[in-house]
Structure formats: C-alpha cells, structure tokens
Structure 1
Amino acid sequence: MTQEPLDQPITDVFSTSTKELSASERAKLDEQNKRLVPAFKAQKLEIDAQRHWDIFYKRNETRFFKDRHWTTREFQELLAEPHNTNQSKGEHRNLLEVGCGVGNLVFPLLEEQLKSGGGFYFYACDFSPRAIDFVRANELYDPNHITAFQCDITTEQVHQSIPSESLDVCTMIFVLSAIHPDKFGDVLQNLWRLLKPGGVVLFRDYGLYDMAQLRFKPGHKIADNFYMRQDGTRSYYFSEQELAQLFSSTGFEILSNSYVHRRTLNIKEGVDAPRIFLQGKFRKRSLS
C-alpha cells in the first residue's frame, strides 16, 4: 500500500532541520491553497481508498516498485541472525511489514535469511486484497516462513492474525503517509499492542517540503500536508517534530528521527532532483 520514487540515490544527508523554503517554493504552497479538494470529494476518497489501491495494483501488478535491498543498510535490526542455540525449538523473531504491497521488502529479507539459516518469521499485511494475492503467488511464499493477510491497519483487524506482544520488529516504509491523518494514532496504538516490550518500529516516509509536495497543483490539497494524487491515492508529508509527537504520545521511545535529504537521479526520465524523506526508529519501552 505504498507509492515511492523509482529513483537511484546519489547522496544521503541526515538532518533534524526542516528545509528552508525559497520565495518561489512558498509561492507554490500558497497557490495550492487557492483551490482545495472539496469536502465531499475528500470523504469519497476515504471511502474508496481500498478500491484505489486495488486499481493501482491491477494496473502495475509487480512492476512498479524495486526490491528494497537498501533496508538492511539503513536498519541493522533487519539483518538475519543465526538461530540461538539457547532458544526452544521453533522459536524465532517475528517481524510484521505493514503495507507490504507485493513483497518488495519482505521477500529480499526472506531470501537472504534462507541462505543464512536464521532470522525472522514474517507477517505481511496490506489494505489491498490484490496486493496480498501477488504476495501469495510469489515463488518464495511458504507458510512455514511467512503469513500474508489483508487488513485495515487502522482497525482491530490486525489483532485477528497476530497475537498481542509477539512482534520483535515492525516496518512501515512509505505507508503511514497513505492513511488519513486522523487515523495515525489508531495505527500506532495497534502496533504498540502487537510489539513485545523492547520491540521496534522501523519507519521511512515522505518528509515535509519534499519535491513531490511542492509539485502539487491547486485542486489536489486535502488538508495541511495531505494531498490527492491523480490516481486517487493520497500522500501525507511529515515534519520531524510531528512524527516525534505521534510516537512519543503513544508511549514509544525515540531512538532516531531525522530527515533524509537525498538527491535522486532517473537517467531514463532525465530527472535530477532533491527528495526529502523522514526516517526513524521507535522502541516500545520495556516494563523493567
């Protein structure tokens, strides 16, 4: 349930400072406010959110996103570990990928750990039933290693498939931005209940004043930092302070939380532009 840029990273710079806008960039944001998405249309987008993502995957199938081999570089918590000889037979770490799409994060991780002989049992969920169909059709899909299921992560559905306090790691990569801001708190509460004490959420999403935000024309803005794409899917752009408040108010400890300023290059399309993402690690506090 994600849309992310099809690009090639050139440089990454981590910063806690919000981008300073130029006069022309401020003018673009002011222009967006001249015509907002009407309230009735915004409500219809919320009602039809699942349908829009199903249409997205019907159109793009498994071709849109590249496999996310970069995740183990950014998040050491995803590296496969050998089985602990002190663990009981069958015991393992558990990982949930929220908004798994067609499996571009989970399957590279699974493939790597099948070679190393250790690691996670994977859960993968997505809002789109069609996306889950693609995950289950993957040749690497094996219920001995992975369970994929459809659910709305803003509701209690996820608790029907995963026991409370059973997860070691949860990933949200370009996912929370696709959800209505009014439901961000519900999502984090659900993840809190699923994680073991000491479990972590690994996060990356769109940062405030990213190039994509500045490019929206009038008629696409739904609310502050929340926009409608041409295909009916939606995107939110986070500030570092806002994300910190969201997680800390739910009870998470902030391990890291910063902007990623990335210059991206798409030679085929002739694109050379800066991007801004927000990346963080958030830990459920232990009881001890």
Structure 2
Amino acid sequence: MEVDDFDDIRSNEEFGHRLKELTDEEKQRLESQNSRLIPDAKAAKLEREAKRNWDIFYKRNETKFFRDRHWTTREFQELINFDPEQKVVFLELGCGVGNMVFPLVQEGFSNFHFYACDFSPRAVEFVKTNPLYNTDRMKAFCADLTTDDIFDNISEGSVNIASLIFVLSSIHPNSWPKVAEIAFKALLPGGVLLFRDYGRYDMAQLRFKPGHKIADNFYMRQDGTRSYYFTVEELAKLFGEAGFEILMNTYVQRRTVNFKEGIDVPRVFVQGKYKKPNFNG
C-alpha cells in the first residue's frame, strides 16, 4: 500500500493544472489492468465491509503506518493566518490516528479547538489514548462521512477550518456528493475546506496489477481498502456543485528521492482549498 507522506525524504514539489503525461510503458500498464476487473459482487462486498476493512487495517498497523503530517502548515497558510486570540474550530474529516491533529497541537495552536472523526472505531480509540489528547480542547468520535451522523457531535455551521486529507479517495464515488455536502454544512460562512489526495496517474495507480481494478481509476488494495485517483476537473465540479468557491485546485507532482534507500518515486497528488461563501442578508 502506498504511503502519503515522506517527511524524512528529500523531495521537490511542482504545482500545475496539467495532467501528467504517460509514457508508452505506463499506458500499457493501465491497459493491462482492464484484463481482469473485480466482479460486481466482490465490489459490492467491499463497499459493505469498508468500515470493517479499515478497522482491521488499524488493528494490524496501529499508529505506525502513516507519518505525522508536519507539512500542513507549509501547504495551508489558512492554518496560521489567525489572530492568536481568536478561537478557531478545526474539524478533521477522516482523522485516522491523528496524524494531522497532533502535529498542530505540538506546534502550539493553543487557540484551536479540535474535532476529529473517523469511520474506524479503532482509529478513534488510538486518538483518544494518545498522550497529547486533551478533552478540554479536543473531541474525537466515530462518524460515517456518507451520512449526517457527524452532526450528533458538532453543530452545523460551527467550523472555521475543515480538512479532508487522503480520505475521499477511499470512499465510493457515488458517495462523494454527500461528503462534500457534509463538509459544506459543517463550516461557518467564510470557512475553508483543506483538501489533499491522490492524483490521476500517481505511481500507486500505475503499480496495480490486473485483478485490483473496481472501476475507472478506482482500485482495491491488498488489504481490502480502496483508493481512487482524481483529476482537478472532477474535484472542481464536485465541490463547486456543493456550493464551495474554488480558491485552489491543482496537481502536485513530486519526485521523492532517498539515495541511501535507493528510492526515486514520482508521486501525483491533488490539492485544493474550497471556501464556503460569505452569505449576505
């Protein structure tokens, strides 16, 4: 399975709106994936068991798989452009084990009140047992982002900043409009959704073998979790139709190099900032 963060490895990032150009070999790899698709019955089972598969993932990997995301304040200036006296409500949609929330806590965001939710009860329990978890300014809870149950724990229109970082790709495309609607409803007018996920023709997409493809650009990993690979056009349409203003919507192409480990990996991500409009009257 791919890892989304390489904080200890030298890398350069390039932002742009153009889709990555494929080599002939890469085109052949993608074409070969169509030789054996996942049957509809198995795809339906993956959807039914999505929560279970993610819970098993966290049972197996605990807190050791994803790296803490210390890059978020560099990429998303919205996290630091606040008066330090202003109370800021931050919501992490799909928090995993807290790889985004806890680095912010460590960096001294003392004016932030954090809400963190995840599909997996086991992941939420790892958040709650982290030594940095503070019930005075943090609340972690289980929520299915394809339903309204998140609003059992937070009020609609109460959030300054929400994040959706490497989460939407694991959700069935039919449910994306609901996820975007949930994010929109949670934010205050003027609030911003910060987004990052896997981009079309990322290295991980090209590496899938026949027998892993569910549908166009949507795949099953070995452990039963799933991953989609986005274009910026898809995201602009999705979040625009949900009511957001598109502040940023771009590809991030990165070549990650670690000479000691012999790693030279081209990655493609998508990154966005989507604002809930300030309503007048």
TM class, shorter-length:
over 0.9
Give the aligned length.
278
User: Match of 1:177, SS?
Assistant: helix
Distance 2:2 2:176 in 1: 18
**What is the match of residue 101 of structure 2?**
106
User: Match of 1:28, SS?
Assistant: helix
**2:179 matches 1:187:** yes
**What is the match of residue 91 of structure 2?**
96
* 1:9 positional shift: 4.4
* 1:142 positional shift: 1.2
**What is the match of residue 131 of structure 1?**
123
Distance 2:100 2:84 in 1: 21
1:1-20 to structure 2, matched below 5 A, reads 4-7=3-6, 8-20=9-21
Task: Give the aligned residue type for 1:139.
Answer: P
Question: Deviations along 1:161-196, whole A, 9 cap, x unmatched?
Answer: 110100000001101001000000000001111101
**2:212 matches 1:211:** no
1:128-277 to structure 2, matched below 5 A, reads 128-266=120-258, 269-277=261-269
* 1:267 positional shift: 5.1
Cα distance change, pair 37–74 in 1 and its aligned pair in 2 (3 A)? same
**What is the match of residue 68 of structure 1?**
69
Task: Give the aligned residue type for 1:47.
Answer: R
Task: Give the aligned residue type for 1:95.
Answer: F
* 1:24 positional shift: 1.3
Q: 8 Å contact 2:248–2:273 — kept in the other structure?
A: yes
TM-score normalised by L of structure 2? 0.95
User: Match of 2:211, SS?
Assistant: coil
- Where structure 2 has 5 or more consecutive residues not aligned to the other structure, the ranges are none
Question: Deviations along 1:86-137, whole A, 9 cap, x unmatched?
Answer: x6xxxx21110011111111011112225xxx43100000000000000000
* 1:143 positional shift: 1.3
Cα distance change, pair 135–278 in 1 and its aligned pair in 2 (3 A)? same
Cα distance change, pair 39–266 in 1 and its aligned pair in 2 (3 A)? farther
Question: Deviations along 1:191-235, whole A, 9 cap, x unmatched?
Answer: 111101110000000000101101111110001110000010000
TM-score normalised by L of structure 1? 0.93
User: Match of 2:223, SS?
Assistant: coil
Q: 8 Å contact 1:204–1:277 — kept in the other structure?
A: yes
User: Match of 1:286, SS?
Assistant: coil
Task: Give the aligned residue type for 1:101.
Answer: G
* 1:144 positional shift: 0.8
**What is the match of residue 55 of structure 2?**
54
Q: 8 Å contact 2:4–2:166 — kept in the other structure?
A: no
Q: Percent identity?
A: 56
Q: 8 Å contact 1:9–1:262 — kept in the other structure?
A: no
User: Match of 2:273, SS?
Assistant: strand
Question: Deviations along 1:11-34, whole A, 9 cap, x unmatched?
Answer: 100010001111111111111111
Task: Give the aligned residue type for 1:39.
Answer: D
Q: 8 Å contact 2:161–2:194 — kept in the other structure?
A: yes
Q: 8 Å contact 2:2–2:204 — kept in the other structure?
A: no
Distance 2:258 2:149 in 1: 39
**2:32 matches 1:31:** yes
